[in-house]
Chains A and B, each alone.
Chain A
Amino acid sequence: MISILNEHFLIISALIILCFGIIYRFATYLNFPSISYAINTLTILALVSSLFIIGVDISIMSIQFNSIFIKDHTTVLVEIITILIGIGVIATTNRYNQKEKITHFEYIILLIFVLISIQLLITTEELFSFYLILEFQSICFYILASLKKNKYSIEASIKYFIIGSFASIILLLGFSFLYGVSGLTKFEDLSIFFMSNYNNSDISTLVTYGLVLTTIGLLFKVYMVPMHLWVSDIYANSPNSSLLIFATSSLLPFFFIVFKIYVHVLGEYEYIWKYLISITCIASIVIGTIGAMYQYSIKRLLAYSSIANTGYIFLAFLFYDSPFLLASGLLYLVLYTINTFGLISVITNIRFRDEQQQETTLENIYQLQGLYEHDNFVSAHLLVYFYAIAGLPPFSFFFSKIVVFTSLLYKTQFIWLIILMACLTVISVFYYVRIVQLMYFNKTQKHITVQTLPFAVRVVTVFIMLLNFTFVIMHTEITSVLQYVSLQLYL
């Protein structure tokens, strides 16, 4: 039981923090005190201790609840990364939340719930627990999107809610096809069933329906083309602190679980899903790259770039037969998560103040004009992040791009795809370099001042920037870990 102690601990600490918040936030005898500092401290304490709890059983592989949840080294790695993301989110969004009057302590509670759902999501080995946990996570995201309480934020939340539930229902329909064929829900049983009934044409037809419906539902959840149209609205209108959570934390566990479903369970039907996924990946790369060219809102730009990068990440499904090639996809995923985290946490904390002492956040890229003259630190960091996400050397993201290229080159039929991706990389460099040009080349129009970043954000961004620079030196360390993880995905 010790191996799911971590989840238990997080659930209990979330409930305790919730009780603490309810009791003290509405305490009339204390005149409704502001308890964000106390809540943040408590949460960071809880997360750090949960890191220790993970560290206790790092070498144990365990099977829980009648083999619905299975923990191994892969899940431990993802858990560690997500908890680090959680600590980073609390550290970097504090000032933004206070200035934008997102003082609800529910933000923190929802964050812990998201972390719990991620930890359960990657350990699950059963279709319906997967569906339920995914819904749990999605509901947290819907509420997080609406926290700013202006009409745009609520619009984003409702859009997210309607489209998300629509996608969930399609996903559930797909799962029910799989269940209806086999009467089974566990991944292991299902894979044995499909393996033994591979030649049965009735079953194959029904499974094909189920597979297509499942794919459509999952594409909604990871916003890949053609189910991507709504995502830029949600990125642009939800508060930055919530964006930081669902842009960075959702993709990592999702990749693992989708990989399990497709390769382990439906591995016999790879001739169907290989084409489905590769076509959507290529379409995502093309549309995400070209769509971002005309975006002047920085969050919409990020949305399109995330569409393109999701396409690159899910290209790893083409390498499902080789763990060492799969590691390239994982490297891309991890470095994308880290760089996006740094970028969004800097963007969140840039605040301009004009002559009337009006404070604004960063919305449009033209607000960045002449940032270099105001704050060398912020502009240097944004420079590194944008160049990194553009995939230019010597930053870390360049290496993830070349390992994807190399993996595709090992499969000789994809040479045209590499040429296409190389051309698109040049196109995508254009709009990232445009931002650098605005920061360094142009002069500021108005008299504004830029507030310095908070100390915690400085620490986080300097850390990520150092990682970006030193990845040339230490890439074997990280890739060997990821190769181990991808090997374990096959066991």
Chain B
Amino acid sequence: MTSNDKIIEIEVLRYRPEQDEKPFLQSFKVPFTDDQSVLQGVQYIKDYLDGSLSFRWSCRMAICGSCGMMINGVPKLSCKTFLREYYPGKITLEALKHFPIEKDLIIDLSDFINKLESIKPYIIPAAPRTLEQGEYLQTPRQLDRIAQFSSCINCMLCYAACPQYGLKPDYLGPAAITLLHRYNEDNRDAAKAERMQLLNAHEGVWGCTLVGYCSDVCPKDVDPAAAINRNKLNSTMDYFLRFVAPRGGN
């Protein structure tokens, strides 16, 4: 660090499960340059000011989905949020909202992992295809139907943004519904009927109250709100069709 670096105040919500009753704010002064991210700011704290500060990170380029946190109250990826945007004000960092805190900025995301596992996030074909038969055909238009919804990096920002998830932790939530939609819309898959039952449930698509904040905070433009809303229509159709056909709208 050179002497003409600017100094920014970073306040971090600390929670050390073995010693703290509840979380508390701790402030650090961090030198920075204009191209440095919030992640680099907390890395500086860990390396030089307080080695016990804990947070998840890896790729530094907004694709691994590890480093989400509340930055001045907004869920963001810290690797692609820059310190300069907040200077000369201070930055307050907290663990993502609506999740239990395991330590400092680290949340417990096992609830999401369980939900992800529950939606059968894999291709269930009508008839299995052998490798010798080569690839399934999928036109660019068919690919377009799933491309956006398959770009979710599981960063959990949408869950931190979703007021419904905050109130009703059983709600399947934006990323899981989006992934479910991605497999349902894939022309190689034939298990829509099985997955629709999850969506039709109260914890499924009907948990959403159309706030849309999930799509605002999504760092990859996945637009989970669009996936959820399309499935409200799908769910309604499926519900009525189940009266006439046992396997629903599929």
Q: Do A and B interact?
A: no
